[in-house]
Amino acid sequence: MNKLHIEIQPAKSALERFGKSLQSVIVGRTPRSYSGIGFENMAQFGEVFSPKRWELVENLKASGPLTIYALAKQLNRHYRNVYKDVAILAEWMVLSKDAAGKVFVPWDEIDVRMALIKQAA
């Protein structure tokens, strides 16, 4: 299954994951494949993943590859706004373009996780 992991976590956690992968390479092991992006907090996450952008992702996954024009028409949104959303989502690896210039969702699943901070006892 082709899965994109999105995590809201402190940068320290992401660096620890990277360190473990690097250590695996140093000792000659191949690290597990992992496609993921991270955000330090919900505010950063919310700047990228608005409700309209999630709607765009869901619609595009259901319909298959489309031109931005066709996608805007299907969503009943202005082309310029959809173009901007597609550019941002592509920058964050959520969308891709095929050889014909159509955009598509390359993932079977997008897993969004947020670690909750434990309260001091």
So what's the pLDDT on residue 73?
Answer: 97
pLDDT digits (tens, 9 = 90+) for 56-68: 999 999 999 999 9
Q: What is the number of other CB atoms lying within 10 angstroms of the CB of residue 107?
A: 19
So what's the pLDDT on residue 41?
Answer: 86
Helices within 1-121 (DSSP H only): 11-26, 42-48, 51-63, 68-75, 79-91
So what's the pLDDT on residue 59?
Answer: 96
pLDDT digits (tens, 9 = 90+) for 14-39: 566 666 666 666 777 776 666 678 88
Question: What is the distance between the alpha carbons of residues 118 and 24, in angstroms, rounded to a whole number?
Answer: 29
So what's the pLDDT on residue 86?
Answer: 97
pLDDT digits (tens, 9 = 90+) for 69-118: 999 999 999 999 999 999 999 999 999 999 999 999 999 999 988 877 76
pTM summary value? 0.77
